Chain A
Amino acid sequence: MTSIKILGPGCAKCKATYEVVKKAIEQSGVQAEVTKIEDLEGMMKYNILTTPVVVIDEQIRISGRVPALDEIKRLLN
């Protein structure tokens, strides 16, 4: 199962990212577990600078912007 983490303090862009990721999982039918990380210390473990961040299987894939739906789908496959 793929693990997806969304890092961000809960701003509008982070919420948008979460929605995109959820939709991408639904549409591609991939088994994935999505977790939101909203606390700073948890976020900073990934050594990030800008939010939102999408981490897929412990790898930073998107940083500092809301991804497109197709982008996430591609990353999931």
Chain B
Amino acid sequence: MFNLLQRFSDWLIFSVLGVSAESHLGQALTFFVYDTAKILILLFLITILMGIVNSYFPIDRIRNFLSRNKLYGTQYLMASTFGAITPFCSCSSVPLFIGFVKGGIPLGVTFAFLITSPLVNEVAVAVFLGTFGFKATIVYVISGILLGVISGMILGRMKLEPMLTDWVRKVWEQAKAEQADFEMGKVSFMGRLPVIIREALGIVKGVVVYVLMGIAIGAAMHGYVPEGFFEEYIGNDTWYAVPLAVLLGVPMYANAAGIIPVIQVMVAKGIPIGTSLAFMMAVVGLSIPEATLLRKVMTTRLVLIFFSVVATCIMISGYLFNFIL
């Protein structure tokens, strides 16, 4: 399917615009057209798919499910997987957190959800699929989910409840399994579709600028930076590359849509994939705006513990990727 796109962008740049196929500019332009078209198509398809899933499994149901059932250790995996399939706007993370606590869901399980949710989201998956291909996307999704599980388990063991802010702690003490179901109504699939498509278009429209910027930077690098350029500086043997990438990534707050195309080119030009993935996870998964939001429900100490545990897990997975891939 994407062969056609490649042929189209080659034709557009080389034949219609008459830019030489051998020139840097030609290479950069055809890369830009091809990647943009491919990623936007994937983005639209995947957001619709996720929209359908979410229309039938709204977050309220997931919360009720986690809250009612004793899941004997699998609840971390459940929460983390649910986190991957439910998109939500970052300003929802606080109400979500309180809602989970209120429903009597253990703090560690709530964290597992909270970690995976931004890390594996429909936009990241679509762009990842478009730039790195199917296999790498599967690896990314699975490792994102496992990262949530492991970090959640570690945080769950630490007995952090006393470090919630006062009123959230009160909520926690009065927590009980929530039964109240969100009124869903019986709407047919065709009745839901317009809302789903509108939402999907909204998401695509919201990130399209970042996608274009990311691909433009990626395309420029693709055309002008020589192969293996980064290898000289950040090779596989530089042991501190992974922690450095994570430490640089945490304060950065970029849209997953913008950062992935750049990273793909960096990998192509010689940065080890584990180091790149660690950087990306740190950028997407942990951010200063998120920290300030969480400060409303957690003490600064708890936010710091949360971030350190997740950052450490990201570093470990970075080393693992470098080792395996």
Q: State which of A19-27, A28-36, A42-50 sits at the interface with chain B.
A: A42-50
How many residues does chain A have at the interface if contact means C-beta atoms less than 8 Å apart? 21
Q: Whose C-beta in chain A lies nearest to the C-beta of B54?
A: A64
- A-facing mask of B184-215, CB < 8 A → 1, else 0? 00000000000100110010000000000000
Chain A residues within CB distance 8 Å of chain B: 8-11, 13-14, 40-41, 43-44, 47-51, 60, 63-66, 68
Chain B residues within CB distance 8 Å of chain A: 58-60, 63, 88-92, 94-96, 98-100, 102, 167, 171, 178, 180, 182-183, 195, 198-199, 202, 293, 296-297
Set B91, B182, B183: member contacting A9, Cβ < 8 A: B91
A13-B89, A60-B182, A60-B183 known; A49-B95 Cβ under 8 A: yes
Interchain CB contact under 8 A, B95 and A40: yes
List A contacts of B89 (CB < 8 A). 11, 13, 50-51, 64
Q: A-B contact count, CB below 8 Å?
A: 63
List B contacts of A49 (CB < 8 A). 59-60, 63, 92, 95-96, 99-100
Q: Whose C-beta in chain A lies nearest to the C-beta of B62?
A: A49
- In the assembly, what is the distance between CA of A43 and CA of B171, in Å? 13
Interchain CB contact under 8 A, A64 and B102: no
A11-B91, A13-B89, A64-B59 known; A50-B96 Cβ under 8 A: yes
CB distance from B139 to the nearest CB of A (A): 29
Q: Whose C-beta in chain B lies nearest to the C-beta of A47?
A: B180
List A contacts of B100 (CB < 8 A). 49
- In the assembly, what is the distance between CA of A11 and CA of B296, in Å? 15
- In the assembly, what is the distance between CA of A44 and CA of B91, in Å? 14
Set A10, A40, A64: member contacting B296, Cβ < 8 A: A40
Q: Whose C-beta in chain B lies nearest to the C-beta of A63?
A: B182
CB distance from A58 to the nearest CB of B (A): 13
Q: Whose C-beta in chain A lies nearest to the C-beta of B91?
A: A11
